[in-house]
């Protein structure tokens, strides 16, 4: 079957029109335009298999060792209550892409959104098939587990930067990458401290894209919430010329069933003057009346003015009357979701797979979506350059609902962190490739011990609320851990027992005998700087074992406790966050598990 599907894919590629590359899309002011000067709107669908949930004990082993899981693995673990996700890279599955492309084309879409990609895999067939069909890709650079900036213990560090850059390197050869997202639903209404790290990520990814002459947009997909949160979040992400996203995505489910056409009025007036492009990075509320979904928001979202000959500069509107087009404010949206996606007991999926995965069956939601999407006519105004509102102001220090510093962390520096790793006296020795959870635990333990011995973990800590960033906060977590272990060892006059950590650490006999970790940091780590990152170090599968590695290894997993995996449709207005907090050693902040 796979062979047949692969042939089908090949045939499809061969038959596809040999049209030139898809036109580049760029942002001018708050709108998107293709090279020919026409406005561009996103008319898309989320194309991502929902991550399978794994129990805490097994997930890391599974991800590192067993991808795909071997025969005989007890798969009933999979629907555990844990909220971590196994990476599914749909864009690497060429047979599935060939299977799905005709179905996607029925929707009349011009974009899909994919939530995770594995840069080690080949994406040629899917990306080229999509391109031939005129479909752009909005790609999240994040991975589940430690592959994203964390909601409550955020950092912008070499391992995450390098993962993002590797993904960009794997996708830049395609002509249909519309945007790269630096995060999905990382900030929440109760935890906004990741904001400076996300903006730093946008800044450094923008610089890298510029350095490789990429025109892809830099985006972020935001969880919805109270206006006090969403508005500050949107402003924060776009308030600096040198560190701004190009496109703000809002995962918005407020239109539910037969909503009145005034439903988006509040959003419209709030975003009327927004300085960069904005779109709905997810939409399509489930379990509404009527059900299946009628998608009545689509004609509203893409509606053009009935008075389009009367020019009303939208940027001056404070109240947004119904008769004015939403297209003056938004650049389209991404319907959620192609694949089955369970959230709160409801399935947002519109295409079900046959048991052998060879065919898809679409549902009534899909048919209704196709009807509405195919009826959309894009407006072509304002003209390129006609409206370029200024960027928003950064939120004033502590507006209600917002808790983040305007001081950004520096660009993560692989060379500096690698230099330090080579000089440390006591080095973390991962007992297995499955080490990212252990690293978190050991940092907590080691920081506790260092504090008792009179030291601090300030060097490795960062705080997005106060805008203070330790000089090592940008380094890979394994290097941070080795640094703290070395400090403890040195505070204890280098007795062997102080560099054991129950067998998780090893003395480096080759390290300079009297060099203190802090002094090594002073010589290796320059003052914080903003610079254009260069291509990331080559990925070594067991990178964490190498002393001079600056990369956390291929699975670098993130908390995944936020919906960083991004595969959950969330109806914010229906009660969203359930938080549980836990202290973790010296590291500032708590952890929040969000139930999606």
Ligand X SMILES: *[C@@H]1O[C@H](CO)[C@@H](O)[C@H](O)[C@H]1NC(C)=O
Binding residues for ligand X (CB under 6 A): 49, 67, 74, 76-77, 84, 87-88, 118, 120-121, 143, 145-146, 261, 299-300, 303, 353, 356-357, 403, 422-423, 427, 431, 436-442, 465, 477, 502-504, 508, 510-511, 546-549, 554-555, 557-560
Find the residue with minimal CB distance to ligand X: 440
Cα torsion 130, 132, 138, 141 to 10°: value is 70
From the CB of 466, what's the least distance to ligand X, in Å? 7
Cβ closest to ligand X, residue 37 vs residue 431: 431
Q: Is the CB of residue 421 less than 8 Å from the CB of residue 526?
A: no
From the CB of 5, what's the least distance to ligand X, in Å? 11
C-alpha–C-alpha distance, residues 450 and 442, integer Å: 12
Cβ closest to ligand X, residue 44 vs residue 477: 477
581-596 as b/e: b if 16+ CB within 10 A: eeebbbbbbebbbbbb
The two structure tokens encoding residue 168: 């960009």
Closest to 565 in 3D by CA, of 119, 65, 216, 147? 147
From the CB of 21, what's the least distance to ligand X, in Å? 27
Cβ closest to ligand X, residue 7 vs residue 386: 7
Closest to 501 in 3D by CA, of 552, 417, 438? 438
From the CB of 99, what's the least distance to ligand X, in Å? 10
Cβ closest to ligand X, residue 246 vs residue 434: 434
Which residues, at least 6 apart from 442, have a Cβ–Cβ distance to it below 8 Å?
428, 481, 485, 501, 504
Cβ closest to ligand X, residue 275 vs residue 552: 552
Cβ closest to ligand X, residue 22 vs residue 484: 484
From the CB of 555, what's the least distance to ligand X, in Å? 5
Q: Is the CB of residue 184 less than 8 Å from the CB of residue 142?
A: yes
- State the burial class of residue 545 (Cβ atoms within 10 Å of its Cβ: 0-12, 13-18, 19+): middle
Cβ closest to ligand X, residue 386 vs residue 540: 540
Closest to 208 in 3D by CA, of 491, 404, 414? 414
From the CB of 88, what's the least distance to ligand X, in Å? 6
Cβ closest to ligand X, residue 247 vs residue 424: 424
From the CB of 429, what's the least distance to ligand X, in Å? 8
DSSP annotation of 112: E
From the CB of 172, what's the least distance to ligand X, in Å? 18
E-assigned strand segments in 323-451: 332-335, 342-343, 346-347, 351-353, 360-362, 426-428
Q: Is the CB of residue 189 less than 8 Å from the CB of residue 225?
A: yes
Cβ closest to ligand X, residue 39 vs residue 123: 123
Cβ closest to ligand X, residue 219 vs residue 544: 544
Q: Is the peptide bond before 50 cis (omega within 30 degrees of 0)?
A: no
From the CB of 166, what's the least distance to ligand X, in Å? 10
DSSP run (H or E) holding 370: helix 364-374
Cβ closest to ligand X, residue 117 vs residue 245: 117
The two structure tokens encoding residue 583: 């202290």
SS3 assignment, position 539: coil
From the CB of 520, what's the least distance to ligand X, in Å? 9
- State the burial class of residue 375 (Cβ atoms within 10 Å of its Cβ: 0-12, 13-18, 19+): exposed
The two structure tokens encoding residue 467: 């805008």
From the CB of 439, what's the least distance to ligand X, in Å? 4
Q: Is the CB of residue 218 less than 8 Å from the CB of residue 276?
A: no
C-alpha–C-alpha distance, residues 397 and 277, integer Å: 25
From the CB of 510, what's the least distance to ligand X, in Å? 4
Question: Beta 247-251 vs 217-223: how paired, if at all?
Answer: parallel
Cβ closest to ligand X, residue 95 vs residue 178: 95
């Amino acid at each position: 079957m796979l062979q047949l599907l692969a042939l089908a894919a090949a045939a499809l590629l061969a038959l596809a029109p040999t049209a030139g590359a898809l036109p580049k899309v760029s942002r001018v002011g708050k709108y998107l335009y293709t090279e020919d000067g026409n406005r561009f709107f996103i008319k898309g669908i989320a194309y991502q298999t929902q991550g399978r949930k794994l129990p805490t004990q097994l997930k890391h082993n599974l991800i590192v060792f067993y991808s795909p899981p071997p025969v005989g693995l007890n798969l009933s673990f999979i629907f555990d209550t844990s909220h971590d996700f196994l990476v599914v890279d749909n864009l690497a599955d060429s047979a599935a892409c060939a299977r799905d492309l005709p179905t996607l084309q029925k929707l009349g879409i011009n974009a899909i959104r994919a939530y995770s990609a594995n840069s080690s895999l080949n994406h040629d067939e899917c990306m080229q098939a999509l391109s031939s069909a005129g479909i752009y890709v909005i790609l999240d650079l994040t991975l589940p587990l430690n592959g994203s900036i964390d909601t409550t213990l955020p950092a912008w560090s070499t391992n995450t930067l390098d993962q993002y850059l590797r993904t960009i390197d794997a996708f830049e050869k395609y002509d249909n990458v519309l945007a790269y997202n630096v995060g999905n639903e990382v900030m929440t209404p109760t935890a906004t401290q990741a904001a400076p790290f996300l903006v730093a990520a946008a800044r450094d990814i923008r610089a890298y894209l510029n350095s490789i002459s990429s025109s892809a947009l830099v985006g972020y997909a935001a969880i919805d919430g109270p206006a006090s949160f969403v508005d500050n979040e949107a402003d924060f992400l776009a308030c600096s010329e040198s560190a701004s996203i190009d496109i703000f995505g809002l995962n918005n489910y407020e239109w539910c069933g037969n909503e009145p056409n005034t439903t988006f009025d509040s959003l419209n007036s709030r975003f009327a003057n927004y300085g960069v492009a904005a779109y709905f990075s997810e939409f399509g509320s489930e379990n509404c009346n009527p059900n299946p979904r009628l998608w009545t928001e689509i004609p509203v979202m893409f509606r053009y003015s009935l008075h389009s000959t009367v020019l009303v500069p939208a940027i001056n509107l404070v109240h947004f009357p119904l008769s004015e087009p939403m297209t003056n404010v938004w650049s389209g949206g991404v319907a959620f979701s192609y694949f089955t996606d369970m959230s709160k007991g409801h399935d947002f999926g519109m295409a079900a797979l046959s048991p052998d995965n060879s065919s898809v069956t679409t549902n009534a939601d899909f048919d209704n979506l196709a009807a509405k999407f195919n009826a959309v006519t894009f407006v072509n105004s304002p003209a390129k350059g006609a409206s370029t509102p200024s960027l928003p102001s950064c939120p004033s220090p502590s507006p209600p609902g917002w808790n983040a510093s305007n001081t950004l962390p520096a660009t993560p520096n692989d060379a500096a962190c690698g230099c330090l790793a080579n000089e440390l006296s006591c080095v973390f020795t991962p007992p297995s490739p499955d080490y990212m959870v252990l690293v978190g635990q050991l940092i907590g333990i080691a920081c506790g011990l260092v504090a008792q011995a009179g030291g601090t973990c300030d060097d490795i800590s960062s705080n997005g609320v106060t805008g203070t960033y330790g000089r090592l906060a940008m380094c890979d977590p394994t290097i941070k851990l080795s640094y703290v272990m070395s400090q403890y060892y040195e505070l204890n006059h280098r007795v062997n027992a102080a560099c054991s950590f129950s067998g998780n650490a090893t003395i480096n006999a080759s390290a300079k005998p009297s060099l203190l970790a802090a002094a090594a940091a002073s010589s290796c780590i320059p003052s914080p700087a903003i610079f254009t990152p260069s291509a990331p170090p080559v990925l070594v599968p067991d990178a964490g074992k190498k002393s001079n590695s600056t990369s956390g290894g291929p699975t670098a997993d993130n908390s995944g406790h936020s919906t960083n995996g991004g595969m959950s449709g969330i109806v914010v207005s229906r009660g969203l966050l359930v938080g549980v907090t836990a202290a973790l050693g010296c590291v500032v902040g708590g952890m929040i598990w969000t139930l999606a």
